[in-house]
Amino acid sequence: PVNSSSSGSITLPNFTGFTFGEVRDWLHQAGLNFKPDGTGRAVSQDEMPGTTVKQGTAITVHFNH
């Protein structure tokens, strides 16, 4: 579930282990832009878990098979 506040800021989870589709769907529901790197399962992300971002922010997630 997406954890967003009334101010439109979203706290990022740790996407490690999520599938490409799960990350894409989560970010879409949160109103964030998805910048994937690779395919498969998430291995890291540029914005650290727990970081609070504004809607519309582009989130880079790195994937590996």
- The residue with greater pLDDT, 35 or 1, is 35
Q: Average pLDDT in the 36-61 region?
A: 97
pLDDT cut 70: percent of the chain above it: 89
Give the chain's domains with CATH numbers: 9-64 (3.30.10.20)
Q: Is the dihedral of CA 39, 37, 48, 52 positive or negative?
A: negative
Residue 38 has pLDDT above 70, yes or no: yes
The answer, yes or no, to whether residue 10 has pLDDT greater than 80, is: yes
- Among residues 42, 51, 54, the alpha carbon closest in space to that of 17 is found at 42
pLDDT at 32: 96
The residue-averaged pLDDT of 18-25 equals 98
pLDDT of 5 higher than 70:
no
φ, ψ for residue 20, nearest 5 deg: -50, -50
